Amino acid sequence: MDFDDVLAARRMVRRYRPDPVPADAVERIAAMVRKAPSGGFSQGHRLIVVTDPVTRARIAELAQEPYYTRDGEPPWLSVAPVLMVLGICEDDYHARYTKPDKLVDGQEMEWPAPYWWVDSGALLMLIQLAAINEGLASGFATVPAKDELAALLGVPPEIAIVGVITIGYARADAVRPADTARLRSMRKPFGDLVRHESWKDGARPAGTP
């Protein structure tokens, strides 16, 4: 797909058809774990791909699916045919940044931000874009019961679970005009989000690219 078309299609989708996704498409999307950036090439990303219906249903319970499907919305975590549990291994970052080429005055650097969380967001976005390129939709949900989810999937303690990515074919009513209009009405002015050269003097009029 053209990149502009991919970006235009990027949205969090909560309405899926139960149709299975071809295994080769799932593998191409999961392969983004190799493409996502990681600080110092720490490679701390982890993914668990889940397609088994019983396991997906249990994950939906642990994610408190009714919370996400209130106001008459149809279930989505238990309907999406592919779930990708997104994890990150912080230890990989510390191991990398204690290598000789990364030491600062002989010590591991003081982290200006937790790169592992930043990088997990980058992987989430790549998976979303890869799904769109396959003609699929995606969404994201947090899981309050992370310990139970880790036990269900056998995730070792050094892997922190970030959340669950849903992947599948969007329903015909996945993007409703009323929802689109509501979100557009909430859109902040461009000048509130982007400044040029300095914060104080760098605002541009709303809508100016």
User: What is the pLDDT at residue 107?
Assistant: 95
- Overall number of domains in the chain: 2
Position 40 scores a pLDDT of: 95
Q: Which pLDDT value is given to residue 207?
A: 52
Per-residue pLDDT of the chain (209 residues; tens, 9 = 90+): 688 887 777 888 999 999 999 999 999 999 999 999 999 999 999 999 999 999 999 999 999 888 777 667 778 999 999 999 999 999 999 999 999 999 999 999 999 999 999 999 999 999 999 999 999 999 999 999 999 999 999 999 999 999 999 999 999 888 766 667 777 788 888 888 888 888 877 666 555 55
Same structural domain, 21 and 55? yes
- Report the relative pairing of strands 45-50 and 137-141 from DSSP bridges: unpaired
* Residues 84 and 135 occupy one common structural domain: yes
pTM: 0.88
Task: List the Cα angle 83/84/87 in 5-degree steps.
Answer: 145
Give the C-alpha separation, 124 to 91, whole Å.
20
Q: 18 and 50 share a domain?
A: yes
pLDDT of residue 35: 95
- Find out whether 159 and 90 touch, Cβ atoms under 8 Å: no
Same domain? For 181 and 130 the reply is no
9, 96: one domain: yes
Residue 108 and residue 205 share a domain? no
Are 23 and 47 in the same domain? yes
Q: Which domain holds residue 76?
A: 3-175
The answer to whether 163 and 139 have CB atoms below 8 angstroms apart is: no
- Asked if 141 and 166 touch (Cβ cutoff 8 Å), the reply is yes
The answer to whether the beta carbons of residues 85 and 47 sit under 8 Å apart is yes
pLDDT at 68: 74
User: How many Å apart are CA 185 and CA 8, to the nearest integer?
Assistant: 18
Same-domain status, 35 and 102: yes
Tell me: do 163 and 188 sit in the same domain.
Answer: no
